[in-house]
Amino acid sequence: MSDANATTPRVFIARHGETEWAKNGRYTGRTDIELTPNGVNQVSSTARQLVGRRRLLDPATVARVWVSPRKRAQQTFQILFGADSNSSGTATIDSDKVSLTEDIAEWHYGDYEGLKTDEIKAKRKDRGLDKETPWNIWRDGCEGGESAQEVSDRLDRLISQIRDVQRPCMNGEANADVALVAHGHILRAFVKRWLGYPLHTPLEMMLEPGAIGILSYKNKNINEPAFSVGLALPPLDD
């Protein structure tokens, strides 16, 4: 018997809150830094308003959570779903549903770690690169780090796991929402691969620190992945 509250499975993508490097526009990949106090407040506000019983992201409907191993992502996960969040109306996620994985870690920026976009472009120009077109991470990747193809491959691996979880539940047979807690760049890359687009496909996206986005499927069809451009909130508790 299906759960009356089950719906077409969704993928919630949660970006970690502000860090000092993110605030300054510095590329932050493997550098393991924590949230700023403002970053903690960003995620806490999101948790209070959107996470909890009969809220947008109801832990009761979540079958799996994948979290980046970086401190800033783990800290965000704990604020969203950890024991300390219960006072704000959210609920914990069973530990057996949670996986730390490098597949959703931030892009490995290699030689560009800690730099800003203008600094990267200037360094490349000084070396005689990008004479015809400016550097574009989605196409060119990062020297000493990951190429766009390497990022695409690991995201495809994760998407395959998600589809395995959600495929049997497309008509509400069981709750099969999943959540990803990670980073701004990799989550935008994830959206492109979820839709089947190569990473170099132009698709301008914004995902603020502490924000939550939603992906799902059209027509309850596993072969029609989509993203939500608008949503209706659950009814308030009586």
> What's the CA gap between 13 and 205, in Å, rounded?
13
Average pLDDT over residues 202-211: 94
> pTM score, two decimals?
0.91
C-alpha span between 179 and 222 (Å, rounded):
17
Q: Which two three-digit tokens encode residue 189?
A: 């890359």
Eight-state DSSP code of residue 150: H
Q: What is the mean pLDDT of residues 82-93?
A: 55
Q: Does pLDDT of 2 surpass 60?
A: no
Whole-number Å distance between alpha carbons of 210 and 41: 9
Mean pLDDT to the nearest integer, 117-133: 92
Chain segment 138-194, per-residue pLDDT in tens: 999 999 999 999 999 999 999 999 999 999 999 888 999 999 999 999 999 999 999
Looking at residue 188, its pLDDT comes to: 97
Amino acid at 161: Q
- How much is the average pLDDT of 75-81? 95
Tokens of 184: 């701004």
What structural domains does the chain harbor?
11-227 (3.40.50.1240)
What is the distance between the alpha carbons of residues 166 and 122, in angstroms, rounded to a whole number? Answer: 45
Residue 60 pLDDT > 60, yes or no?
yes
Selecting among 20, 34, 106, 200, the annotated active-site residue is 106
Token couple for 209 = 């620190």
Q: Which of the four pLDDT bands, split at 50, 70 and 90, describes residue 1? A: very low
- Binding site, by residue number, is 28-29, 72, 106-109
Annotated binding site for substrate: 28-29, 72, 106-109
Told to judge if 16 belongs to the known catalytic residues of this protein, a careful annotator would answer: yes
- What percentage of the chain exceeds 70 in pLDDT? 92
Residue with tokens 């057996």: 96
Containing H/E element for 14?
strand 11-15
106 is catalytic: yes
